[in-house]
Amino acid sequence: MVRTDLLAMLVPAMPLLGTLIIGFGRRKFTANTAGGLATVLVALSFVLTLVLFLGHHGERHIVHLFNWITVGEMQIPFTFQIDALSLWMMLFITGVAALIHGYSIGYMHDDPRVATFFAQLNLFTFAMLLLVMGSNFLVTFIGWEGVGLCSYLLIGFWYKTPEFNYAGRKAFVMNRIGDVGMVLAMALLFLQFGTLNYAPVMDKAGLMAPNNPVVITATLLLFLGATGKSAQIPLLTWLPDAMAGPTPVSALIHAATMVTAGVFLVVRSSVLYELAPYTQQIVLWVGVATALFGATVGLFQNDIKKVLAYSTVSQLGYMFAAMGVGAYSAGMFHVTTHAFFKALLFLGAGSVIHALGGEQDIRKMGGLKNTTRTTYVTFLVATLAIAGIPPLSGFFSKDSIMAHAFQESPLAYALLVFAAMLTALYMFRLLFLTFFGTYRGKAHPHESPRVMTVPLVVLAVLSAVGGVLNIPHIFGGNEWLKHHLITAADGVANEDLALSAATEYGLMALSTILVVLTIWYAWTLYGKKTTLDGEPADMPFLKRLIAKRWMLDELYAYLFERPFSWLSRHLFTLGEAKVAVPVTVGTGEAAQGFGEWLRKLQNGNTSFYLFGMMLGMVLLLLITLLSA
Amino acid sequence: MALLALVLIPLIAASLLLAMRPAAATARGLALVSTLLTLAVVLWLWYTWAGTAVTAYSLDWVPAWGMRFTIGYGGIGLLMLVLTGVLFPFIIGTGYKQPVGDAALVNALLLYSQAALFGVFMAQNAFLFYIFFELSLIPIFFLLLRWGGEHKRAITIRFFLYTLLGGLALLFSIAYATLQTPAPHSADFSALAALQLPAATQQWLFWTLFLAFAIKMPIFPFHSWQPETYTMAPTQGTMVLSAIMGKMGIYGIVVFLFTIVPIGTAYWQHLVIGLSLFGAVYAAVIAFRQDDFKRLVAYSSMSHLGLMCAALFTWNAYGISGGLYQTFAHGVLMVCLFYIAGMMEQRVGGNDLARMGGLKTRMPRFALLFMLIVGNAISMPLTQSFPGEWLMFNGLWQLNPWIALAGVVLIVLGAIYMLYVYQRVLLGPDRDVAVADADGEEHFMLVPLIAIIFLVGLFPNLVLQLVDAPVQQLLNTFTSLH
Amino acid sequence: MENVITAIRVVPLGHYFFLCFLLFAIGMAGALLRRNILIVIMCLELMLNSVNLLLVALSAFLGDTGGQVFVFFIMLVAAAEVTVGLAILVQLKRNTDGVDINQLNRLKW
């Protein structure tokens, strides 16, 4: 037990140590030393997690560090919870993070602030680990806010560009809007249960009646928090803008780990969600709508990272659809495989950008499959995986979600299949435009260094075989991940697929065939393309609307940003300068004016004074007489 | 005796400064040593505190009325003493890099105000409290009048008269309440607390008392003196005003309003929470588009204080503990932010944010320090602001979820204006001006402050345990009321 | 002493009241209406003395010596007051070449 405690403390301590060492010595570190140290520390974390993982047999272990906040009845300890769910998250977070740290050594090699970059990346890893390891909502919230801050810092890493700074602030503020829900949910849960520790909260919640107002409110508020962090409708516009950050950041934070925190939170609170079918419906449809939104917008993006960003939004939609139908392990499965192939896609995109000297516009790419061989092959694997081609990992995870969705609501299933077709379309459009045809730019493409390609290959292998983690029964598998998670998240126990084997095979075949057809369609459209689509202005209305991201950014600007800015300015120029201050000053001036008038009595005429005196005496006399 | 030393040390040091008029370096050194001595005393009091109220010293004052010169402290008073003790060395230290005029005189004035502030927080007699309450204002008045910025005369006088108005309301209320106590009218806190005024009286007496504290903090709509004063005051003066003197309002609410007029407080509770939260949101919205760094910080301070006041009036353990805890956190934050503002003022020659921006390449160390402080200002967990805000939101939620929503919106607004000001000060395309990065002396100021921020953020119980017992006691009296 | 009191008591108290009121009114009117500062001071004396007279009379009628003690106080104050008043008079005469009390209104505000 002591050994587990020590290991659990060391896992987040490693990246924190890295932050401190690299942060304080950031002037002395070079790209290789800082990056090397950061990578080794995160890799150590991974190894330690692995040791923990191998020694873990389904129990829930609480690691108590110290009492954090104690007031009256409220006792919030600073504790970690080591169970199947947190271990699984820790495992792939540290694993993917280690790979991306290594990749960054090559990618960020020539940046003058490379040491700062690694310090912040390590800090992010630390915060993300706190998020998943916390044994109560508030410790999770530390990580939750911490990853938000790191995300802000890393999006605005190249701080000289005002747009990047704006993107960073936008990300943080939108996350904070979600956090309002999170904080309120915690306050509600505390009032209801008198504790915020996951285990007792879930135990006590399990005794409550389904669909009671407390649970519905709590789950909705938690979901608001999740929409912020995981870029779901309506709080999604920050994620595409977040691509302003360096590409490894997009891969680690805005694809593989941080954005899945919302999913993690829902799985953690699965007991609550199981009790609130009403909320589950909302989660399902928000997820489906987001999946469609991301997939449609992805079709018309020309920035390689923006395509991937909308793809992330769309895939996160799938995960929330899974949460909505109560398929928690399927959602977590998709979180994991998505972490593999989306990280790979971003790193591949980074490799392409690196090869082209910073070019991100796919209209100026093409024909790169010969010059950047490794990148091409790994990118292809990831694209096939995300499109859901068997037997790659994406097929299993996505299919598992869609089967559960079919069982719950065929309409949701149909929409998700449609989104899957769109996914195949935009991903292969991206692949064909980038790697096929002829090169349309002016740079001299070259393959990236070994330190960048090795993580690509590792991730490609994981993306390809990741499906074995949770092979469904119909293929003779034993759904390992589900059985692993069942010990940690009670909701997992409730998810069972009651479909006949024939239906399952049929659904799989249907979606696979449709996706393959879409890929063929994409080939006819973009496969040999040398010229490109026109500007949005030339498109028909619906296409133009989608290409302009459904005008969501503009809508928010008109609805919120501008009125807020106007209000801020005018509350000052009107409320303060025209009301509050003048009233105060006016009171003083009124007193002065009264004095101005009153001093006229002091006219220097002695007789007048005497007269006043006499008048006063007579008055006093009268008062005395009358009151007597 | 230790308690009396808290008043006497700064008093003697200040008088020495005035009598000897030493050179600037000696004056600052003496002042710093004196504040460090008081800090040591305060920490000793903190360390030895046994969890019960202490009456340290009691002396006949006006025997005919049974009035005694009584000083002492409970948990809440000790918290305030700690706040004053911890922050004053930093306020004096600010003078090293950001000197204001005649060092001997400035430091003497600051030390006088420190003595008075210690007096406020240790007084156990209402009239004694009142005397220190007003005394603390006088040195600051001279500091502002002589070394303020633009329009210093008009603004200082407005500030002085406005707060004096509050003081008079306080005097009136104390006098009235004292006359209701059984003879002799000693005006001891214990005598006033034992008073059970009729409900109708409490309802109006509440406002005369609240006015004094609302102006001091300030709470919307009694705030109009504050932004201008904070903006034009020399940095050290602003620090004393915002970090400590505003807290006299919070302290007064707990010590006077909650004990003398509990029924009145209950009666007006929702109105006051409404005003406070409205003011908090109002100030936070205004802060976003401010072009003057110091005024922006002033509005942010008002926003935080509004939330704290609202939390106090929730009347549950979380709200009151959170509000009191936050007095400490907010004090440290204000010293940090105004120090940062002062640093920028020196470097670019003004507070106008339009003159800043694009400086991060030249000021990387400064950027890191500022970022850590911004993290505290937007109450990131593990900084000291977070536990306080969390407790306050809890308190608000227990009162009413919708009120809590209005409060929690502040975390969004806070992020909006703080990150924006960080961007406008440092980020953007490089600007071709010669500005120096934060140097050793400035690190000497900010690093300990940031260490406090994280220390208390990690172990908020250090502060919370001070207020735990007194808050429980307050709540017991409330429950006996209903 | 006894015969003085008896002598005072010969006249009814009402007469004393009337006389004192008359004297006081004359003094008051003079002080308010006259502009010569010397006359004003004399009128003030008249008012003071009317009160003195009343005090003595009441003291005799009520058998309380306190009233007579007060008379001495008033006479003392009156002497001091006349001293100051005459000093002002002299200064006024020197500075303005007249004794008009309205010359003093330059001291206003």
Lowest mean pLDDT among A140-144, A615-619, B234-238, B476-480: B476-480
| Beta-carbon separation of C102 and A606 below 8 A | yes
pLDDT at residue number A601: 82
pLDDT at residue number A316: 94
Write the pLDDT tens digit of every residue in A549-567: 888 888 888 999 899 999 9
pLDDT at residue number C4: 81
Give B184 to chain A, closest Cα distance, Å: 31
Write the pLDDT tens digit of every residue in B286-306: 999 999 999 999 999 999 999
A346: left (phi over 0), alpha (psi -120 to 50) or beta: alpha
Between the alpha carbon of residue C45 and those of residues A451, C93, C98, C102, the distances in Å are 114, 20, 22, 20
Which DSSP string do the residues of B312-364 spell out, in sequence order? HTT-SHHHHHHHHHHHHHHHHHHHHHHHHHHHHHHHHTSSBGGG--S-TTT-H
How are beta strands B67-73 and B54-62 bridged, if at all?
Answer: antiparallel
Q: What six digits make up the tokens of A214?
A: 């407390």
C108, closest residue in chain A (CA to CA): A604
- The three-point CA angle B327-B146-B34 to 5° equals 50
B116 Cβ contact list (under 8 Å, min separation 6):
B132, B135, B136, B138, B139
Write the pLDDT tens digit of every residue in A245-265: 999 999 999 888 999 999 999
pLDDT at residue number B478: 79
The stretch A432-456 carries a mean pLDDT of: 86
pLDDT at B418 over 90: yes
Touching, A vs C (3+ Cβ pairs under 8 A): yes
Q: What six digits make up the tokens of A567?
A: 């209000």
Shortest CA distance to B226 belongs to which of B165, B276, B294?
B294
Q: Is B448 exposed, middle or buried, given 0-12, 13-18 or 19+ CB atoms closer than 10 A?
A: middle
CB A160 within 8 A of CB A109: no
- The three-point CA angle A604-A610-A611 to 5° equals 105
pLDDT at residue number A239: 92
pLDDT at residue number B62: 82
Q: Hey, is the C-beta of C28 within 8 angstroms of any chain A C-beta?
A: yes
How are beta strands A74-82 and B54-62 bridged, if at all?
Answer: unpaired
pLDDT at A368 over 70: yes
pLDDT at A531 over 80: no
| Beta-carbon separation of A602 and C109 below 8 A | yes
CB B236 within 8 A of CB B106: yes
Q: What six digits make up the tokens of B459?
A: 């172990």
Question: Which of the four pLDDT bands, split at 50, 70 and 90, describes residue B235?
Answer: very high
pLDDT at residue number B482: 60
Lowest mean pLDDT among A86-100, A451-465, A524-538, B463-477: A524-538
Q: Does domain C2-108 fall into CATH 1.10.287.3510?
A: yes
pLDDT at residue number B80: 95
Rounded CA separation A489/A199 (Å): 10
pLDDT at residue number B344: 92
Write the pLDDT tens digit of every residue in A175-216: 999 999 999 999 999 999 999 999 999 989 888 888 889 999
Neighbouring C-beta atoms of residue A389, cutoff 10 Å: 17
pLDDT at residue number A535: 59
pLDDT at B98 over 90: no
pLDDT at residue number A461: 94
Q: Hey, is the C-beta of C51 within 8 angstroms of any chain A C-beta?
A: no
Task: Give me the residue from A146, A188, A565 closest to B289, CB to CB.
Answer: A565
Sign of CA dihedral B254, B255, B256, B258: positive
Shortest CA distance to A365 belongs to which of A437, A285, A301?
A437
A29 three-class SS: coil
pLDDT at residue number A59: 86
The stretch A423-432 carries a mean pLDDT of: 92
The stretch B93-112 carries a mean pLDDT of: 91
- ipTM of the predicted structure? 0.93
Rounded CA separation B175/A294 (Å): 69
Q: Is C53 exposed, middle or buried, given 0-12, 13-18 or 19+ CB atoms closer than 10 A?
A: middle
Write the pLDDT tens digit of every residue in A376-402: 999 999 999 999 888 899 999 999 999
- The domain locations on chain C are 2-108
CB A322 within 8 A of CB A248: no
pLDDT at residue number A448: 85
User: Which residue shows structure tokens 């006819």?
Assistant: A524
Write the pLDDT tens digit of every residue in B129-158: 999 999 999 999 999 999 988 888 999 999
C36: left (phi over 0), alpha (psi -120 to 50) or beta: beta
Q: If you compute the radius of gyration of chain B from its CA atoms, what whole number of angstroms results?
A: 21
pLDDT at C1 over 70: no
pLDDT at residue number A538: 65
The share of chain A scoring above pLDDT 90, in percent, equals 59
Rounded CA separation C100/A63 (Å): 99
pLDDT at residue number A426: 92
pLDDT at A220 over 90: yes
Chain A residues in contact with C33 (beta carbon < 8 A): 607
Q: Hey, is the C-beta of B473 within 8 angstroms of any chain A C-beta?
A: no
| Beta-carbon separation of A614 and C40 below 8 A | no
Q: What is the pTM of this model?
A: 0.89
Rounded CA separation A342/A423 (Å): 13
Question: Which of the four pLDDT bands, split at 50, 70 and 90, describes residue A137?
Answer: very high
Rounded CA separation A129/B228 (Å): 45
pLDDT at C109 over 60: no
pLDDT at C107 over 70: no
Q: What six digits make up the tokens of A149?
A: 């801050």
pLDDT at residue number B407: 92
Crossing angle for the helix pair B75-97 and B24-48, nearest 10 degrees? 160
Q: What is the mean pLDDT of chain A?
A: 89
Rounded CA separation B271/C81 (Å): 60
pLDDT at A534 over 60: no
| Beta-carbon separation of C104 and A604 below 8 A | yes
Residue A197, strand partner residues: A136
The stretch C89-101 carries a mean pLDDT of: 84
Lowest mean pLDDT among A528-532, A592-596, C51-55: A528-532
The subunits that touch chain A, with at least 3 C-beta pairs less than 8 Å apart, are B, C
Rounded CA separation A626/A623 (Å): 5
pLDDT at A322 over 60: yes
Q: Hey, is the C-beta of A600 within 8 angstroms of any chain C C-beta?
A: no
Write the pLDDT tens digit of every residue in A52-79: 999 888 888 899 999 999 988 889 999 9
Question: Which of the four pLDDT bands, split at 50, 70 and 90, describes residue A450?
Answer: confident
Q: What six digits make up the tokens of B306?
A: 């509004």
